[in-house]
Structure 1
Amino acid sequence: MTDPGRITILRAARRAFALQPYHSVTLRGIAADANVSAALIVKHFGSKEALFEKVADFSEAAQLLLDAPDEELGRHAVLTLVNYRRENGLDLLVRVIFAAGSGDERALIREHFRDQVTSAFTARLSGDDARLRAELITAQLLGLGAVMSIDKTGPSTTADPETIADLFAPGLQALIH
């Protein structure tokens, strides 16, 4: 994802769907927040429904996070999360936190997260406690994403990604094996 227009639209859409019920969100409102035309949103995403599906879809995040052998998975996941945020100005996972409220659309975001991210990690792990370990891995990744979202100038946001991985990845890797 390198198109700045798409990224700006996705940021605005994520905010809109996180803060408002689905029926209250409009393409015009998202366009105003993104400082683009509603026509550009339609060009990139087609419709409000398609844009919401993109916001609710975590399959790309899961694919990116899991694209490493098991023995390197913890470090890879941390570096992917940090670098993706820095390169795109978007977090791969943290939008699910805003889906904690009620409403069918928020439930759909949580369901997609469970089905596409947590279940993907579970499938990679072995043992009776694989689901628990997968939930703990995603919780830690969500926490890292959240702290980078909250404190945009703090050490977790500005430190060298390799340093962050050196400190954070061992905890994830312990849950993988």
Structure 2
Amino acid sequence: MTDPGRTAILRAARKAFARQPYNAVTLRGIAGDAGVSAALIVKHFGSKESLFEQVADFSEAAELLLTAPDQELGRHAVLTLVNYRRDNNQDLLVRVIFAAGSGDERALIREHFRDQVTRAVALRLTGPDAELRAGLITAQLLGLGAAMALDKTGPIATATPEAIANLYAPPIQTLIY
């Protein structure tokens, strides 16, 4: 079972590190946004540096997205992304979009994303242009994540995960083979 305090801390930290330079982010500020004490952050993560490393880590996302055989991978990735957002009220990948600005900490988030998600997808692919296809697959997943983050009440928000997968997974699957 997920600890709601830990989840709130991670959500607040993701926003803080994506919107501000690392040096401007404080544990007190994150604690205030999360509705917890700074001591609870230290208890869960130890330090600001450790919390940032957790925010910049996409290994769990890659593992969740890639746990299916190749012939089902596109559909699995779409269903995982949709269900994760709906079950946890957060996205597995979209935080990397907020790291598009300049700064060492944002570059580190992008680097982790490339190493832990895009390269993991590329390693699964066979045939020509594996790295390019992996980049296009992750771009499509990021697009879906962004659309879900923006569409709170419209057709994407109200569609079943199966309906979304039926429409969105086939183009992703074509890039897998």
Q: TM bucket by the smaller chain? A: over 0.9
Q: TM-score, normalised by structure 2?
A: 0.97
Separation in 2, partners of 1:32, 1:19? 16
Q: Is the 8 A contact 1:148 1:154 kept in 2?
A: no
The residue identity in structure 1 corresponding to 2:26 is T
The structural deviation recorded for 1:164 is: 0.6
CA contact (8 A) 1:68 1:76 kept: yes
Task: Report the CA distance between 1:20 and its aligned residue.
Answer: 0.3
User: Is the contact made by 1:58 and 1:117 (CA closer than 8 Å) also made in structure 2?
Assistant: yes
Between the aligned residues of both structures, percent identity stands at 79
**Shift, 1:158, TM fit:** 2.3
Tell me the equivalent position of 1:36: 36
Alignment of 1:115-126 (within 5 A): 115-126=115-126
Q: How many Å apart are 1:128 and its aligned residue?
A: 2.3
Query: Unpaired segments of 5 or more residues in structure 1?
Result: none
Gaps of 5+ in 2: none
Query: In the alignment, is the contact (CA less than 8 A) between 1:125 and 1:176 conserved in 2?
Result: yes
Give aligned pairs, total.
177
Q: What is aligned with 1:175?
A: 175
| Aligned mates of 2:166, 2:4 — CA distance in 1 | 31
1:2, 1:88 within 8 Å by CA — same for their partners in 2? no
The runs of 4+ residues in structure 1 deviating greater than 4 Å are: none
Amino acid at match of 2:53: E
Correspondence 1:16 to 2:16: yes
Contact 1:94–1:142 (8 Å) recurs in 2: yes
Computed over aligned residues only, the root mean square deviation of the Cα atoms, in angstroms, reads 0.9
